[in-house]
Amino acid sequence: MAQAAVNAVRALLEEHDHIVQEISGQNDFGEDLYVTFADNGRVTSDVIKVQVKGGNSWRRANGYAVPVDQHGDTWANGNIPVYCVVYDPDTKRLYWANATQQLRRSGPLNRPRVIGVSPNAVLNDTTMASFVTQARRYVGRYRGRQAVLTHLGEMSGVDFDPTDHVLHFVNGDDEDLIFWKRPGAAFATLLLSAQDWEPYLVSLESLIRSELPIPDVGEEGRQKDQRGDPDLATAEELELSRSETMWVASCFISTEQADEWTEGPTECEGCPSCTGEERVEHANIAADIADAYVIARIIDRVEAEPDLLHRSILVMREEGELEPGIIAELGPLEANSRIVRQVTKLSRATVNETEPEAFRLAILYLIKRVYIFDPSLPLDEQVQIVWRIPEPENAVSDSAGQA
């Protein structure tokens, strides 16, 4: 079965003109194949290694799992990323996961025992192009400026966008500080190794307070004074030294100057209010309020529609090509039988015993996107959910009436 699985992966890749080199199976190095990707008949410099597993023994509660065993260090820290592919003889399908990504996200102190492989991550003729694009993009994360962002992201557990402002500082105690701001945003997120990389939202004004002079960075694009905003962290609360505080202040200044060169409206991904000629400004909302609202709406729908979760999972798998980021999240969550059980039993009675990871898996199954609008709107209009299965019309009207 193991060799049949390797043959199936090799045949599929070679059918799409990629170069596959099989590694001798006499020694368990944790990899079975080297894959060099081709592009329009030309060999690229993008290479991955693949660990292949075949058979029913790798199946878990709602997905598949590949044991890490002694390969944790080589899979996480090697020069070439490692992917796991599982062949299920019952479905006759191949499923994939990025093992290196999962291990680096968990960190060396919390390394998982298995690589989770989602049943949504199908590898076939239809999804091959998407898989290759994702894999080549991941390999490219280790080149140029993106290599720096990748290193900082893996260190802090954040997936930075190439357009983000990301700056790094190491203090006298060898503690890391990361400044992270979206282009044009008034607020930034501070990530501190001394605080276990917990994200803290700050503004320039809330951070430096009145005892430090606020640098003159101009009024254009500046929001009103946020020093008293309880949702924004202060230097005192974060226990920042004066030099650390001034470094963060200089990050605000330099990024605001950089934004002046790239002024213009930020495009969203086709939300309902931004599809016309007149664009709507998106607002900020406290994360706990938005999360609580979304979870409450999920509970309402799950209790009103007992088969909703099953139907939504089927719709999700029929979509075929999911975003790579979603597939990366699904793998380890679906391989955890405890998390899957909590999702299947999610109700008003069990909500207080449900772990955050189970809520996250439920959101991935049930929801495509969540949009945040003007804070002056009622909560049900400020937080708009795009479900994988649209709400019944009577449920939508009932929800609006209750709000």
Supply the pLDDT for residue 189.
92
Supply the pLDDT for residue 400.
46
Own/partner pairs for 340-343, CB < 8 Å, 24+ apart? Answer: 340/61, 340/62, 341/61, 343/309
**Does residue 120 contact residue 323 with C-beta atoms inside 8 Å?**
no
Instruction: Name beta bridge partners: 54.
Output: 87
**Does residue 208 contact residue 227 with C-beta atoms inside 8 Å?**
no
- Whether residue 399 is predicted with pLDDT greater than 80 in this model: the reply is no
Supply the pLDDT for residue 163.
82
* For residues 311-317, average pLDDT: 89
Supply the pLDDT for residue 281.
44
Supply the pLDDT for residue 63.
86
Supply the pLDDT for residue 280.
46
Domains of the chain: 2-140 (3.40.1350.10), 145-262 (no CATH), 287-402 (no CATH)
Nearest-Å Rg of the Cα atoms of the chain is 24
Three state DSSP letters for the chain = CHHHHHHHHHHHHHHCCCEEEECCCCCCCCCCEEEEEEECCEEEEEEEEEEEEECHHHEECCEEEEECHHHHHHHHHCCCCEEEEEEECCCCEEEEEEHHHHHHHHCCCCCCCEEEECCCCEECCCCHHHHHHHHHHHHHCCCHHHHHHHHHHHHHCCCCCCCCEEEEEECCCCCEEEEEECCCCCCEEEEEHHHCCCEEEECHHHHHCCCCCCCCCCCCCCCCCCCCCCCCCCHHHHCCCHHHHHHHHHHHHHHHHHHHHHCCCCCCCCCHHHCCCCCCCCCCCCHHHHHHHHHHHHHHHHHHCCCHHHHHHHHHHHCCCCCHHHHHHHHHHHCCHHHHHHHHCCCCCCHHHCCHHHHHHHHHHHEEEEEECCCCCCHHHHEEEEECCCCCHHHHHHHHHHC
Percentage of the chain lying above the pLDDT 90 cut: 34
Supply the pLDDT for residue 309.
92
Specify which of 73-82, 230-239, 274-283 reaches the highest per-range mean pLDDT. 73-82
* pTM of the full structure: 0.65
Supply the pLDDT for residue 266.
42
Q: Max CA-CA distance within the chain?
A: 70
Residue 158 or residue 34, greater confidence: 34
Residue 24 or residue 176, greater confidence: 176
Mean pLDDT computed over every residue of the chain: 81
Supply the pLDDT for residue 279.
43
Supply the pLDDT for residue 1.
84
Taking only the tens place, the pLDDT of each residue in 246-279 is: 898 888 888 887 766 544 444 444 555 554 544 4
Supply the pLDDT for residue 319.
74
**Does residue 83 contact residue 111 with C-beta atoms inside 8 Å?**
no
Residue 275 or residue 299, greater confidence: 299
Taking only the tens place, the pLDDT of each residue in 84-99 is: 999 999 888 999 999 9
Q: Starting at the edge strand that comes first in sequence, how are the strands of the sheet with 199-202 ordered?
A: 165-170, 176-181, 188-192, 199-202
Residue labelled with tokens 């080297």 = 34
Buried b (16+ CB within 10 A) or exposed e, 186-215: bbbbbbbbeeeeebbbbbbbbbbeeeeeee
Taking only the tens place, the pLDDT of each residue in 317-347 is: 877 667 777 888 888 888 888 999 999 999 9
Structure tokens given for 154: 């893996």
Structure tokens given for 237: 């609360």
Structure tokens given for 330: 């699904």
Taking only the tens place, the pLDDT of each residue in 185-205 is: 888 999 999 988 989 998 888
* For residues 13-36, average pLDDT: 85
**Does residue 187 contact residue 174 with C-beta atoms inside 8 Å?**
no
* For residues 176-184, average pLDDT: 90
Structure tokens given for 373: 């609008």
Taking only the tens place, the pLDDT of each residue in 127-165 is: 999 899 999 988 887 676 777 887 888 888 888 887 889
Supply the pLDDT for residue 220.
47
Supply the pLDDT for residue 227.
42
